[in-house]
Amino acid sequence: MIMRKAAAPARTITAAEAAGLVRSGMWLDYGGVISQPDLFDVALGARITELADIKIRNTLSMRPRAVMEADPEGRHVHMVSLHMSGYDRGLHAQGRCSYTPLNLGEISDYYRRFLDPVDILIVKARPLEDGWFNLGPSNLWMRAVIERARLVIIETCASLPHVYGEGSAIHESEVDYVIEGDHAPLPELPNAGATAVDEAVARLIIGEIEDGACLQIGIGGMPNAVCSLLAHSGIRDLGVHTEMLTDGIADLYRAGLVTGAHKRLDPGKAVFTFAAGTKPLYDTIDRNQDLLCLPVEYTNSPHIVMQNPRATAINSTTQIDLTGQAASESDGNRHLTGTGGQAQFVRGAYAAERGKSFICLPSTYDKRGERRSRIVFNLTPGNIVTTTRADMMYVVTEYGIVNLKGKSAPERARALIQLAHPDFREGLERQAHEARLLPRGFSFVGGVRTG
């Protein structure tokens, strides 16, 4: 690990004094998720109209950013997101936030190889303990940012859970300034209740999960529904090697179903790089040595993921075409989230011994009162492909599950039509025949397993 050396011992200053260090044209870094600064953010917002051309890089804002609210026309500050939350998405729609296309597991490398040094890193951490500031459950690419930052400012927050794992703390000798935080409660990400469709999809996935599976669970109602059903499935000795630690995974851990006994890497430990959820999740994490919060290049790299037998990746998407391309991050030209770790976990899980990757989605959605199919002949113009057709393994809707590996283009089309809502199947089949994606006389049924 490369240690940064501050020019002088860390000095405690106010949030206003810290904001006073910002100059026009600077690149600031707010870190990500629950470790983004609040007191500094408010103080910078109070003087943002004095500055010009300020860029702030961050990930998954969990609450509104005061500096952005203080500049509603975007004349002084612009946000650059590495993965968008709903709040960031709203800023993007206003032209006040941009997205950087990337695989989340490669971001540390981006900071070290491709991005200019950060002028000021401002991030929350726990108060100093034995010479170290613990960064809480947002390890991510923080070590790479610290190495490349001209100034490092810590805003203390005793509410952050204390985590274990390489790269999860910063030594006091690396810090330039400290802001005494207000230790306010952490932002929470509520869990939406599972719908009947979510539960139908989850039941199909559960039928493919084995004892000893090593789970990666993505964000969303369907992956969380899988966790809920797993708790009552009789499946045992689960492992966890994931990007995001969710409430659903924490529930499985508290129920004694996560033992990591069959993991080849980090046996007995649940591995993640960041957490977002509710207070019970944060309480489960705090000083829990069964859980390891590790850098994103370790959690997400396919060559690491594949080393755990029965690696099982469960992620969701918003649209799939009849060849198996999944668009998971945009609605046409309207950006929604980001690539995240989906593509990397799809590849890593497939490459593992007895590994499996699942991409799930409801068959339909409503737009302006009109029901539409999420399985389409062609993706919506402007939609971004997150998981390629060559990488796609299992696809799941409430109407069935199919493994696309090894299937020809006509076989894929036939199978995916069977996964679509019945109201749209005839139209999809007609389009496939007109484009000769389904040749005349082709009768293969697609290998779909229904509930």
**Cα separation, 197 vs 32, whole angstroms:** 31
Q: Does the pLDDT of residue 386 top 90, yes or no? A: yes
**Cα separation, 334 vs 142, whole angstroms:** 29
- According to DSSP, the residues that pair with 55 across neighbouring strands are 27, 78
Collect all residues with Cβ–Cβ distance below 8 Å to 307 and sequence separation of at least 6: 264, 265, 352
Q: Residues 414-438: what's their mean pLDDT? A: 96
Q: Which residue has the higher pLDDT, 444 or 24?
A: 24
The model's pTM: 0.95
**Binning pLDDT at 50, 70 and 90, where does residue 59 land?**
very high
Q: Does the pLDDT of residue 401 top 80, yes or no? A: yes
- Please report where in the chains the tokens 């809707």 appear, as a residue: 397
**Binning pLDDT at 50, 70 and 90, where does residue 219 land?**
confident
Read off the pLDDT of residues 299-340 as tens digits, 9 standing for 90 and up: 999 999 999 999 999 999 999 999 999 999 999 999 999 999
Q: CB-based burial of residue 406 (10 Å sphere; 0-12 exposed, 13-18 middle, 19+ buried)?
A: exposed
Q: Does the pLDDT of residue 208 top 90, yes or no? A: yes
Q: Which residue has the higher pLDDT, 69 or 448?
A: 69
Q: Does the pLDDT of residue 446 top 80, yes or no? A: no
- Among residues 17, 174, 210, 243, the one annotated as catalytic is 243
| 328, 320 contact by CB (below 8 A) | no
Read off the pLDDT of residues 142-181 as tens digits, 9 standing for 90 and up: 999 999 999 999 999 999 999 999 999 999 999 999 999 9
pLDDT at 402: 97
Strands, DSSP E only, in 132-280? 132-134, 149-156, 169-171, 177-179, 214-217, 239-241, 244-245, 270-272, 274-275
pLDDT at 439: 86
**Binning pLDDT at 50, 70 and 90, where does residue 62 land?**
very high
Q: Does the pLDDT of residue 442 top 80, yes or no? A: no
Domains of the chain as residue ranges with CATH: 11-179 (3.40.1080.10), 196-434 (3.40.1080.20)
Read off the pLDDT of residues 78-134 as tens digits, 9 standing for 90 and up: 999 999 999 999 999 999 999 999 999 999 999 999 999 999 999 999 999 999 999
Q: Residues 65-89: what's their mean pLDDT? A: 97
Please indicate whether residue 434 is annotated as part of the active site. Answer: no
pLDDT at 308: 98
User: Does residue 97 sit in helix, strand or coil?
Assistant: strand
In percent, how much of the chain has pLDDT > 70? Answer: 98
Q: What average pLDDT does the chain have?
A: 95
Strands, DSSP E only, in 247-325? 270-272, 274-275, 291-293, 311-316, 319-321
Q: Does the pLDDT of residue 212 top 80, yes or no? A: yes
pLDDT at 218: 86
**Binning pLDDT at 50, 70 and 90, where does residue 3 land?**
confident
Q: What are phi and psi of 316, to 5 degrees?
A: -120, 165
Q: Does the pLDDT of residue 204 top 70, yes or no? A: yes
Q: Residues 434-449: what's their mean pLDDT? A: 78
pLDDT at 444: 58
**DSSP code string of 421-440:** -HHHHHHHHHHHHHTTSS-T
Q: Residues 377-390: what's their mean pLDDT? A: 97
pLDDT at 222: 85
- According to DSSP, the residues that pair with 164 across neighbouring strands are 292
Q: Does the pLDDT of residue 8 top 90, yes or no? A: no
Q: Which residue has the higher pLDDT, 133 or 225?
A: 133
pLDDT at 267: 98
| 340, 243 contact by CB (below 8 A) | yes
